[in-house]
Amino acid sequence: MIKAEEIINKQFSRAFWGYDIGEVDTFLDEIVRANERAEQELEIAQLRIRMLLEELEHYTGKREDAKEATGQKTETTASKPVETDEKKENAEEKNTMSETVTIRYVAPEDLDAVTMVEATCFPEAEAATRERIEARIQTFPKNFWVAEVDGRVIGFINGMACERRTIVDDMFEFATMHDDKGAWQSVMSIGVLPEYQKHGIAARLMNTLIDDARSAGRKGCTLTCKDRLIHYYAKFGYQDEGVSASEHGGAVWYDMVLEF
């Protein structure tokens, strides 16, 4: 981000009639881009704070409910020893993680929650912006699913349908490349909040997408992943086809294709 002192101390070359207009315009463009990035970062940070506050309120309510329930049991069952705080916390955690997860199509009102999950799960260079996520929701809502617990979005999977067998970088930028009748179902992003990972939620999301693609009569599914995740997607039947042409986020990706 450009600092204020850099703007103040910026020196421009002088042309015949004054400052070089092209040089000034270029510098102003840099300022605009820097401010846009700062605004996006601030928006995501504010969104994350709001979601964390809602999460805190959610679990605070659960803790109070658990305390009330424990108190009632203590009064009616005198022979049962009172649980320690540590046991209560462990029980609450197990109950939380075993809550029913609902997989459903995305809705416009999920935008903020999905943006927060995306920003939490991916590095800034790879995470889709709020604007791009909104474009995906508007363009292919039936190729976009969310995982929900107690009304809270905790994960998602999305991807356009297309005629391409492998993913190219333009697909991340332009949601309009989606083709309802496309032969291939892509996976452009899949993520689950850290506290809900390792509970099979990502697998449920992936299987939902695969089942939908198969029912739609598509040829298969396609995605890119980093080398450390090749073995994970192989469990779903995806085949490693080597290093991808995609350079999304400046990373090295591998093409993974599942043919029906």
Indicate if 118 and 162 belong to the same structural domain.
Answer: yes
Indicate if 54 and 106 belong to the same structural domain.
Answer: no
Q: Which two tokens stand for residue 100?
A: 């029913």
Q: How far apart are CA 258 and CA 224, in angstroms?
A: 11
Indicate if 233 and 132 belong to the same structural domain.
Answer: yes
Domain assignment of residue 111, yes or no: yes
Domain assignment of residue 193, yes or no: yes
Q: What is the pTM of this model?
A: 0.68
Q: How far apart are CA 2 and CA 37, in angstroms?
A: 11
pLDDT at 156: 98
Indicate if 58 and 18 belong to the same structural domain.
Answer: yes
Indicate if 65 and 192 belong to the same structural domain.
Answer: no
Domain assignment of residue 89, yes or no: no
Domain assignment of residue 188, yes or no: yes
| Beta strands 184-187; 220-225: pairing state | parallel
pLDDT at 44: 72
Indicate if 135 and 225 belong to the same structural domain.
Answer: yes
Indicate if 156 and 64 belong to the same structural domain.
Answer: no
Tens-level pLDDT at each residue, the chain (260 residues): 666 567 667 777 776 667 777 888 888 888 887 777 777 777 777 776 776 777 677 667 666 666 666 554 433 333 344 444 544 544 444 444 445 899 999 999 999 999 999 999 999 999 999 999 999 999 999 999 999 999 999 999 999 999 999 999 999 999 999 999 999 999 999 999 999 999 999 999 999 999 999 999 999 999 999 999 999 999 999 999 999 999 999 999 999 999 99
C-alpha 117: how far from its chain's center?
4
Nearest to 189 by CA among 119, 101, 138: 119
- Number of folded domains that form the chain: 2
Indicate if 177 and 50 belong to the same structural domain.
Answer: no
Indicate if 163 and 219 belong to the same structural domain.
Answer: yes
Domain assignment of residue 95, yes or no: no
Indicate if 132 and 48 belong to the same structural domain.
Answer: no
Domain assignment of residue 94, yes or no: no
- CATH no. for residue 137? 3.40.630.30
Domain assignment of residue 93, yes or no: no
Indicate if 37 and 128 belong to the same structural domain.
Answer: no
Indicate if 165 and 64 belong to the same structural domain.
Answer: no
pLDDT at 83: 45
Q: How far apart are CA 12 and CA 30, in angstroms?
A: 14
Give the structural domain span for 27: 4-76
